[in-house]
Amino acid sequence: MKPKITLKDIARELEVSISTVSKALKNSEEISRDTKDKIQAFAKLYNYKPNNIAVSLKNRRTKNIGVIIPDIVHHFFTTVILGIEKYANAKGYNVLVCVSNEGYEREVINMELLANGSIDGFIMSLSTETQQKSDYNHIKEVTDQGIPMVMFDRVTERIQCDKVVIDDAQGAFLAVKKFVESGKKKIALITTDDYLSVGKARTDGYKKALAHYNIPLEESLILKMPSMEVEATAFDSFFKTQEVDAVLCVNEIFAMHAMRLVHGMNKRIPEDISFIGFTDGLLSKFAMPSLTAIAQHGELMGEEAARMLIEKVETESDEATFTTTVLQPTLIERASTL
Amino acid sequence: MKPKITLKDIARELEVSISTVSKALKNSEEISRDTKDKIQAFAKLYNYKPNNIAVSLKNRRTKNIGVIIPDIVHHFFTTVILGIEKYANAKGYNVLVCVSNEGYEREVINMELLANGSIDGFIMSLSTETQQKSDYNHIKEVTDQGIPMVMFDRVTERIQCDKVVIDDAQGAFLAVKKFVESGKKKIALITTDDYLSVGKARTDGYKKALAHYNIPLEESLILKMPSMEVEATAFDSFFKTQEVDAVLCVNEIFAMHAMRLVHGMNKRIPEDISFIGFTDGLLSKFAMPSLTAIAQHGELMGEEAARMLIEKVETESDEATFTTTVLQPTLIERASTL
DNA sequence: TATTAACACGAAACCGTTTTCGTAACTTTT
DNA sequence: AAAAGTTACGAAAACGGTTTCGTGTTAATA
């Protein structure tokens, strides 16, 4: 076991000062060719690597960006992380991911933890609980300290910062359009309560699309879940009582559950009932029949968020000018629609 | 915008020394009740939080643990992270996740990055490429420096460290047992090349189980993919040429793909062909029919890995005694088997 | 009243870097 | 040969904390 070697070690060994070593390793003009060669060779031999912590403390920059997501098991979020990593790594930044697990408490703790020096900026998506409580003080505190922040997907207008979202309403619109154009009339929506920002936007888009196609809105065709969990009995009674020929679901899980139910009722998909689900994840791809989906372009979203953040991090300008980037969703047609 | 407040700021404001402030905030006995009250009140008022970087530098401990996983989109790994976070957070540790994206290069970079002071220990699972190259120098360097390390799932005997794996062979055995007991005879295996440690173990278990039940091993019933990717044509010709009544797949994706293929050939699942897949993830749950699966207990694995690591981190003992924990998989019966 | 102990606090070193500034020792200029 | 300019390096402060040790003041003891 050979413990890590420091500048001081090199300096002592080579009988020069610490400053000389530091400069030599940075190839400073101040140091003679000879000394530089000697020091660099020695450093390479002993595999010297500067201590990140010390460098961060000195420079007051960590080259780390903190990402807080509600749920790491959810495919969408993982693709966003992929995009963030991709861009950030290319720019020499490291990505620290923390999971709030859809909880307010863990979101606060993780943010405080990272905010105390560990990162140069945040990329985050709100947890369900935070959106319900509508308490954003922990976030405000961070931005008040001047730490750059980018929110994505689950955002709030209560915080002034850069944001990147997809046009959820447009996604719902695309889905309804698809249904209408294949002759469907009784179009249902399975969604969550409105406090989830995305749930609301998608519901709005659904309603707007119906209006656009002159289809009367029937509230009874909208099934709202109180959370992201599937409530089996609610699904059961919904499909028993309602006559529908197309269903738009705000996530894959809802869609999978509904499709199985409908399948059990001996209806054909897509002939009798068509399905479209939000988020083009693994489930959509491998469902039977495969599920037509609205792609959220998570990776792109991540890249864009990282780009915005690093931009802010690297320009010291105090003037706060925040932009919101809206990404356009696309419809991925598969076997669950005509 | 109010920038972060430091000990120095408090000291200046309250006209005491930095040391006094530091001690007061730690409730040291050395400081009088009065002064402590005053300082603590002031600190709370201005929301003082110690700078993590400075504390880490001073203590030479970060209270961070680094996790390197090959793929964040894979459900299994995310559940492991969940387990790690759960245990680590409870112990006051923060979890930094980096993704190698199944690549050797990114694995090396991420490890070097984190190893230079950012973390107290590693939990990792090898990338595919690293296993192929069989080059573990970057890992050896880290362990040589005395940084504690725990490997999980995709491990190598070339590195001396704590490990936690599931008994993959036993998992395969359970699957074959299930098939045999429901009267299946022509049991196929869809797996990856042997360089993937888990692929090999599962194949071994499959063979051992066949032997145990006196079923002749037919190499033609084993379909090997060169990577984790599905090669559609290989699947096609396999199911066209081979007569099978049961299929064990080393991952969900392979199973999904095969089931769809078989479905298209108008065979019934599970009556004509039964299926079992490794890793009990979302796809298994929502497949049609739902997929009988071998649960890997990722969350448990994560907790165990975190427990082992923190144990090592917190005991300074130099004597290296490494243990390997083997978790037992379980069979989750669903509709794809009789 | 002189001595000692307890109390409450400050000075300073330290963690591992970076960076500014000062300065010997040469080299060049006049 | 004295003045000025280079060159090559070191001392020291700084980043924001923690911690050891020393010390002035007061209270208890002899």
First to last CA, chain B: 65
Compute the distance between CA of residue A237 and CA of residue B156 in angstroms, rounded to an integer.
52
Residue A321 makes CB contacts below 8 A (sequence gap 6+) with none
Residues B18 and B68 in one domain: no
Residues A181 and A278 in one domain: yes
pLDDT for position A318: 66
Q: Would the Cβ of A24 be found within 7 angstroms of any atom in strand C?
A: no
A196 pLDDT band, cuts 50/70/90, is confident
**Averaged pLDDT for residues B237-258:** 94
pLDDT for position B227: 81
Residue A2 forms part of a structural domain: no
Residues B30 and B107 in one domain: no
Percent of chain B at pLDDT > 90 equals 86
Residue with tokens 């970087």: B53
**Structural domains in chain A (count):** 3
Task: Determine the residue of chain B that is closest to A254 in CA distance.
Answer: B286
pLDDT at A125 over 80: yes
**Averaged pLDDT for residues A118-144:** 95
Question: For A32-74, how does the pLDDT look when each residue is reduced to its tens digit (9 = 90+)?
Answer: 999 999 999 999 999 999 999 999 999 999 999 999 999 888 8
Of residues B54, B89, B95, nearest to A57 (C-beta): B54
Q: Cβ separation of B53 and A50 shorter than 8 Å?
A: no
What are the chain B neighbours of A47 within 8 Å (beta carbons)?
141
Residues B203 and B302 in one domain: no
Residues A284 and A214 in one domain: yes
Residues A152 and A141 in one domain: yes
**Which of A316-330, B67-81, B162-176 has the highest mean predicted lDDT (pLDDT)?**
B162-176
Strand extents, DSSP E, chain A: 64-69, 94-99, 121-124, 149-152, 162-166, 187-192, 222-225, 246-249, 274-278, 292-295, 324-327, 330-332
Q: Cβ separation of B116 and A318 shorter than 8 Å?
A: no
Residue A334 forms part of a structural domain: no
Strand extents, DSSP E, A184-228: 187-192, 222-225
B112 in A contact zone (CB under 8 Å): yes
For B280, which DSSP code?
Answer: -
Residues A184 and A269 in one domain: yes
Mean pLDDT of chain A: 93
Closest CA to B7 of B35, B46, B64, B63: B46
Question: For A251-288, how does the pLDDT look when each residue is reduced to its tens digit (9 = 90+)?
Answer: 999 999 999 999 999 999 999 999 999 999 989 999 98
**Averaged pLDDT for residues A172-193:** 95
What are the chain A neighbours of B275 within 8 Å (beta carbons)?
none
Compute the distance between CA of residue A13 and CA of residue B283 in angstroms, rounded to an integer.
59
Residue B289 forms part of a structural domain: yes
pLDDT for position B73: 84
CB-to-strand D contacts below 7 angstroms: A 15-20, 30-32, 34-35, 54, 57-58, 60; B 4, 6-8, 18-19, 22-23, 25-26, 30, 48, 50-51, 53-55, 57-59
Domain extent for B25: 7-50
Residue with tokens 């599962």: B202
- Do A298 and A77 meet the contact criterion of CB atoms below 8 Å apart? yes
B52 in A contact zone (CB under 8 Å): yes
B268 in A contact zone (CB under 8 Å): no
3 state SS of A166 = strand
A57 CA: nearest nucleotide by C1': D15
Q: Would the Cβ of B17 be found within 7 angstroms of any atom in strand C?
A: yes
A216 in B contact zone (CB under 8 Å): no
Residues A284 and A215 in one domain: yes
Compute the distance between CA of residue A46 and CA of residue A42 in angstroms, rounded to an integer.
6
Residues B216 and B153 in one domain: no
pLDDT for position A225: 92
pLDDT for position B63: 93
Residue B284 forms part of a structural domain: yes
Percent of chain A at pLDDT > 90 equals 85
pLDDT at B318 over 70: no
Residues A231 and A317 in one domain: no
A228 pLDDT band, cuts 50/70/90, is confident
Residues B79 and B32 in one domain: no
pLDDT at B210 over 90: yes
Residue A335 forms part of a structural domain: no
- Do A120 and A148 meet the contact criterion of CB atoms below 8 Å apart? yes
Min CA distance, A320 vs chain B (Å)? 11
Of residues A99, A118, A288, nearest to B52 (C-beta): A118
Residue B151 forms part of a structural domain: yes
CATH number of the CATH domain containing A156? 3.40.50.2300
Compute the distance between CA of residue B165 and CA of residue B193 in angstroms, rounded to an integer.
19
- Do B86 and B142 meet the contact criterion of CB atoms below 8 Å apart? no
Residue A149 forms part of a structural domain: yes
Of residues A4, A82, A263, nearest to B288 (C-beta): A263
**Averaged pLDDT for residues B210-227:** 94
Residues B245 and B280 in one domain: yes
